[in-house]
Amino acid sequence: MIINQRDSAHSAVIEAGRLILNAIRTAPKARGVDIIEAVMIEGDDIHVLSNQMLQLFEETQRPVFQRDGNNILQADAIILLGYRPMPMGLNCAHCGYSKCNERPEDVPCAFNQVDLGIAIGSAVSLAADLRLDSRVMYSAGMAAMRCNLLPDCKGILAISLSVSSKNPFFDRK
């Protein structure tokens, strides 16, 4: 049997995406409490996300939404990850309040955001090890929040994935 890389690239990205979801799950978390949620989207769901990004461009006139909204259409898959807000009860003051119970509900626990950053790092590190094209996009994460793709999550970020001879997510116009 002959397997041509050009014919199997999409399925390879999906397989790698599943491994990346595992890397997100096993990334270290504050106090060992797992507040990170992650999903992978492909196909029509990428178009839905793109349309929402273009809608955000129309509303805000921020060019990043138009550029990235068109750019994600070159992805074979997109990983979305965010955190379910939960104070860690460490009274660390990193959020700006000396005690967790003084922190207003709309102020995120710093450790929630740190956990998300560690998970992102773990995900893109594996993507690089697997030689995938990738890029972290806050713009697609904003659109994912609007589409409610990760219910009850905050701070959603997206990682676009593809396999190509030139990473389509860099050197964009």
pLDDT tens profile 44-98: 999 999 999 999 999 999 999 999 999 999 999 999 999 999 999 999 999 999 9
The stretch 25-45 carries a mean pLDDT of 97
120-154 residue pLDDT tens: 999 999 999 999 999 999 999 999 999 999 999 99
**pLDDT band of 109, cuts 50, 70, 90:** very high
- Does residue 173 surpass a pLDDT of 90? no
Domains in the chain and their CATH numbers? 5-162 (3.40.109.10)
The stretch 1-27 carries a mean pLDDT of 95
> What is the model's pLDDT at position 136?
98
> What is the model's pLDDT at position 171?
83
**What does the alpha-carbon distance between residue 98 and residue 142 come to, in Å, rounded to a whole number?**
30
**pLDDT band of 172, cuts 50, 70, 90:** confident
> What is the model's pLDDT at position 150?
97
- Count CB atoms within 10 A of the CB of residue 138: 13
**pLDDT band of 16, cuts 50, 70, 90:** very high
At 127, list the tokens: 């993507």
Q: Measuring CA to CA, how many Å separate 100 from each of 2, 87, 96, 109, 130?
A: 59, 7, 10, 8, 40
* Residue 158 identity: A
**What does the alpha-carbon distance between residue 73 and residue 91 come to, in Å, rounded to a whole number?**
43
> What is the model's pLDDT at position 114?
96
The long-range contacts involving 137-141, CB below 8 angstroms and separated by at least 24 positions, are: 137/68, 137/72, 137/169, 139/53, 139/56, 139/64, 139/65, 139/68, 139/69, 140/49, 140/53, 140/68, 140/72, 140/78, 140/80, 141/80, 141/82
**What does the alpha-carbon distance between residue 130 and residue 124 come to, in Å, rounded to a whole number?**
10
